[in-house]
Chains A and B, each alone.
Chain A
Amino acid sequence: MQLREAVAKRYLKAGGVSVPEGHLCRSGTEAREAARTIGLPVAVKAQLKQWGRGKAGLVRRCETLASVEEAFASVQRSATRDEGRATEPVACLVERWIPGMREVYLAEMVDPEIGGSTLLFSRSGGVDIEAASALARLLVPVSTGVTPFHVRRVLADYGLPGTVAPDLGRLLASVNDLFTQWDMRLLEINPLGWSVDAGFVALDAKIVVDDNALARHPELGDRYREEAIDDPSDELRIEHGIEYVALDGEVGLISGGAGMTMAVMDLIGKQGGRPRCFLDCSQNATSAGYGHALDTLFGDPRTRSVLVNIVGGGTQVDQVASIFVDLLAARRRAGELPKPFFIRLEGTNSDLAKEILRANGLPWFDSLEEAVASAVRAAAVSV
């Protein structure tokens, strides 16, 4: 789960990292008022989670109050959002513009290759983490945390005077404490500003929290829900344990296990179709979980056929068969027009599942390929 800049900065501030004075605004008038309070010039920054906001025209520097309102309006035009959210304004963070800062790069991330936390740093701020090869890396051992060595190393790369070492030491310690305490996968301050007068200031902030640890931080989940403009797939994940990512295609997929789900997506592609989504329901392989998954796809106008593929190990697929039989019956009773629906089950208790599906008039597929072919064909003919 990625926190938006304004939320991320709240955590940084609480953890002892300086951030520019700023206000979250939901209208041009609010933005203008905030700029008046803070003092010009200000930055107007769209609170969207996409990366590369600067290039997309979603961050603007404003020198007059009129241009603040103009920037808020312009951000609304530049923002690309989910269709369902188009009526709400994109909130903007209006922030003091601090002049004369040197901009460097600082991040801490979990590095799977070494199985630990790593500091990433560079004297050039503003670079993209995608260009990670340009960044220096330094392991932060669990046993020691940030040491004076880390501070010296980063300071040398930044090319800042030795007198800054105590400030940088406090900053790195704060970053590592926040990173560990809040179960972050990424804490990126890019750019990190520095000037003689202001010291270090986090000019931008990107925090990705480990979803696997949300149960340890209920306040993060709550705070997150309070923030209005969020991705519906985050809601499915957090509220219902369903991993859902919308894609461009038309074949709706309900699957179990990430690898298996991707394998089915690839087969849909091989057979000339396009998957509408990645949807992994294995964390919530229950009537409620599958029901939410089905509602998501049946309610989505771009989904033209629905394919369920569950290969059960711990999940008993005869139960999956019964669940879907009931879910479909309930929707028929409610008078909903079902989309073309195909279910392929394999694994634990598949012989029982076969009987259940056949008794309820649903076709049985001996192979995944046959089921995929049927779903792709149905998506091509139905409109």
Chain B
Amino acid sequence: MSILVDRSTRVVIQGITGRRGRSMAKDMRSYGTQVVAGVSPGHGGEIVEGVPVFDFVDDAVRSTGANTALVLVPGLPGGLAAITETALSGVELAVWLADPVPIHDMIRLMALLPRTGMRLVGPNSPGLMSPGRAKVGFMPTQCYAPGPVGVVSKSGSLSYEVSLRLTRRGLGQSTVVGIGGDPVKGTGLADVVRMFEADPDTRLILVLGEVGGTEEYELARLVASGEIRKPVVALIVGATAPTGKKLGHAGAMMFRGREGFLPKVRALEVAGVRVADSLTTVADVVAEHLGPAPAGEARR
């Protein structure tokens, strides 16, 4: 199992003919991910890294059975059109790495997506990793190992750092999901946590949050209500961030007090989430709450 991506994932890369597209196709294939198609307007019929290229995503889906799109198209000028094309192509999942993406374009897309059945992860996502099964993105492979911890993060590089710490401590990951730090995004923290709850391979959910935004409160509600029964550990960064300043992620624009550090940490703790006090201790806290492996886990 794992969530969102696994061995059955068949990837079409939108923007495969660029330098980054080529190197990612090669890297993901070497990881064992099935990269079955590429799309670049005007390049239909070419072969890149052994992958057939199409002019349109829907043609690629019909010809190759691709079910997941990795979208390398930047936010401007063509992002809105590219994701609209993806959403109308029949793929189930799109992972969009672009940053920056205009927030009004995300609002327009979020009005469209529920009608198409496609899930969008991103923008500003580093991708998705189900260690040992599939890699759809540009995360550093060496940081990951298969295991029972489901990780969801607003920040790409923080998720690499924390995954590496887990891996070095012998704590592998079921899936690591970078949802991106934008305030309006395709898949939210709570969506991913629900998926982890339903995933038999995930025994503990690790949430990497930050100051700004209010998604952590939705998580707190889910845990407090009993909808999430698996242990949840969180690391919230930004304790030293000044209030009222925008720090990089557009999501960290703080209008209201509850988007600050302490109110978030308190709400999570009251709900029953174990909040690690720093990057230094997060792997220890995960180890402490993971509990013993159920019988049969050793087969992996």
Contacts of A283 in B (CB 8 A): 99-100
Within 8 A of B (CB), among A335-383: 346-348, 350, 368-369
Contacts of B244 in A (CB 8 A): 51
Across chains A and B, the number of contacting residue pairs, with CB separation under 8 Å, is 181
- Give the residue name and chain of the B residue nearest to A247 (CB): B242
A117 to B102: give the CA distance in the assembly, Å: 13
Q: Does B224 sit within 8 A of A, measured CB to CB?
A: no
> Are B237 and A263 in contact, with the CB atoms below 8 A?
yes
> Are B104 and A257 in contact, with the CB atoms below 8 A?
no
Selected from B76, B143, B183, B245, the residue in CB contact (under 8 A) with A347 is: B143
> Are A268 and B240 in contact, with the CB atoms below 8 A?
yes
Within 8 A of A (CB), among B238-282: 238-242, 244-253, 255-257, 278-280
Q: Does B66 sit within 8 A of A, measured CB to CB?
A: no
> Are A213 and B102 in contact, with the CB atoms below 8 A?
yes
Q: A266-B239, A266-B279 are in contact. Are A259 and B126 (CB under 8 A)?
A: no
Selected from A129, A278, A313, the residue in CB contact (under 8 A) with B157 is: A313
A211 to B248: give the CA distance in the assembly, Å: 11
> Are B208 and A259 in contact, with the CB atoms below 8 A?
yes
> Are B158 and A263 in contact, with the CB atoms below 8 A?
yes
Q: Does A265 sit within 8 A of B, measured CB to CB?
A: yes
Q: A110-B107, A258-B181, A262-B247 are in contact. Are A216 and B76 (CB under 8 A)?
A: yes
Q: Does B69 sit within 8 A of A, measured CB to CB?
A: no
Selected from A117, A258, A275, the residue in CB contact (under 8 A) with B240 is: A275
A311 to B143: give the CA distance in the assembly, Å: 10
Shortest CB-to-CB span from A295 to chain B, Å, is 20
> Are A259 and B249 in contact, with the CB atoms below 8 A?
yes
Could you give, for residues 302-317 of chain A, a 1 whenever the CB lies within 8 Å of some chain B CB and a 0 otherwise? 0000000011111000
> Are A258 and B107 in contact, with the CB atoms below 8 A?
no
CB pairs A–B below 8 angstroms (20 shown): A112-B183, A112-B213, A142-B111, A180-B104, A213-B102, A213-B103, A215-B77, A243-B248, A258-B252, A259-B157, A262-B210, A262-B238, A265-B238, A265-B240, A265-B241, A269-B239, A280-B247, A283-B100, A347-B140, A347-B157
Shortest CB-to-CB span from A375 to chain B, Å, is 14
Q: Does B195 sit within 8 A of A, measured CB to CB?
A: no
> Are B157 and A115 in contact, with the CB atoms below 8 A?
no
Chain-A contact segment, one of B10-18, B52-60, B148-156: B148-156
* Residue among A51, A212, A268 having the largest count of chain B Cβ atoms under 10 Å: A212
Could you give, for residues 106-126 of chain A, a 1 whenever the CB lies within 8 Å of some chain B CB and a 0 otherwise? 000010110111000000000
Q: Does B138 sit within 8 A of A, measured CB to CB?
A: yes
- Give the residue name and chain of the A residue nearest to B210 (CB): A259
Could you give, for residues 40-59 of chain B, a 1 whenever the CB lies within 8 Å of some chain A CB and a 0 otherwise? 00000000000000000000
Selected from B75, B237, B255, the residue in CB contact (under 8 A) with A212 is: B75
> Are A368 and B279 in contact, with the CB atoms below 8 A?
yes
- Give the residue name and chain of the B residue nearest to A141 (CB): B111
Q: Does B136 sit within 8 A of A, measured CB to CB?
A: no
> Are A258 and B103 in contact, with the CB atoms below 8 A?
no
> Are B111 and A346 in contact, with the CB atoms below 8 A?
no
Could you give, for residues 227-271 of chain A, a 1 whenever the CB lies within 8 Å of some chain B CB and a 0 otherwise? 000000000000000010101000000001111111101111110
Q: A257-B157, A263-B237, A347-B140 are in contact. Are A110 and B184 (CB under 8 A)?
A: yes
Within 8 A of A (CB), among B170-218: 181, 183-184, 208, 210-211, 213-214
Q: Does A60 sit within 8 A of B, measured CB to CB?
A: no
Q: Does A143 sit within 8 A of B, measured CB to CB?
A: yes
Selected from A112, A132, A280, A346, the residue in CB contact (under 8 A) with B184 is: A112
Contacts of A9 in B (CB 8 A): none
Contacts of B256 in A (CB 8 A): 130, 132
> Are A211 and B100 in contact, with the CB atoms below 8 A?
yes
> Are B76 and A215 in contact, with the CB atoms below 8 A?
yes
Shortest CB-to-CB span from B84 to chain A, Å, is 13
> Are B155 and A260 in contact, with the CB atoms below 8 A?
yes
Known: A116-B110, A266-B239. 17 other contacts (CB 8 A): A115-B107, A183-B104, A185-B253, A210-B250, A212-B250, A213-B104, A258-B247, A262-B211, A262-B241, A262-B247, A312-B157, A312-B160, A313-B157, A314-B138, A347-B142, A347-B157, A350-B142
Shortest CB-to-CB span from A50 to chain B, Å, is 10
Contacts of A263 in B (CB 8 A): 155, 158, 161, 235, 237, 279
Shortest CB-to-CB span from A108 to chain B, Å, is 12
Contacts of B184 in A (CB 8 A): 110, 112, 115
Q: A212-B75, A212-B101, A267-B280 are in contact. Are A368 and B240 (CB under 8 A)?
A: no
Q: Does B106 sit within 8 A of A, measured CB to CB?
A: yes
Contacts of B169 in A (CB 8 A): none
A298 to B161: give the CA distance in the assembly, Å: 27
* Residue among B101, B140, B156, B279 having the largest count of chain A Cβ atoms under 10 Å: B140
> Are B155 and A257 in contact, with the CB atoms below 8 A?
yes
Shortest CB-to-CB span from A110 to chain B, Å, is 5
Contacts of A190 in B (CB 8 A): none
A64 to B68: give the CA distance in the assembly, Å: 69
> Are A212 and B102 in contact, with the CB atoms below 8 A?
yes
> Are A313 and B140 in contact, with the CB atoms below 8 A?
yes
- Give the residue name and chain of the B residue nearest to A132 (CB): B256
> Are B214 and A216 in contact, with the CB atoms below 8 A?
no
Could you give, for residues 281-303 of chain A, a 1 whenever the CB lies within 8 Å of some chain B CB and a 0 otherwise? 01100000000000000000000
Could you give, for residues 48-60 of chain A, a 1 whenever the CB lies within 8 Å of some chain B CB and a 0 otherwise? 0001000000000
Shortest CB-to-CB span from A42 to chain B, Å, is 30
> Are A259 and B279 in contact, with the CB atoms below 8 A?
no
A51 to B211: give the CA distance in the assembly, Å: 20
Shortest CB-to-CB span from B252 to chain A, Å, is 6
Contacts of B106 in A (CB 8 A): 115
- Give the residue name and chain of the B residue nearest to A349 (CB): B140
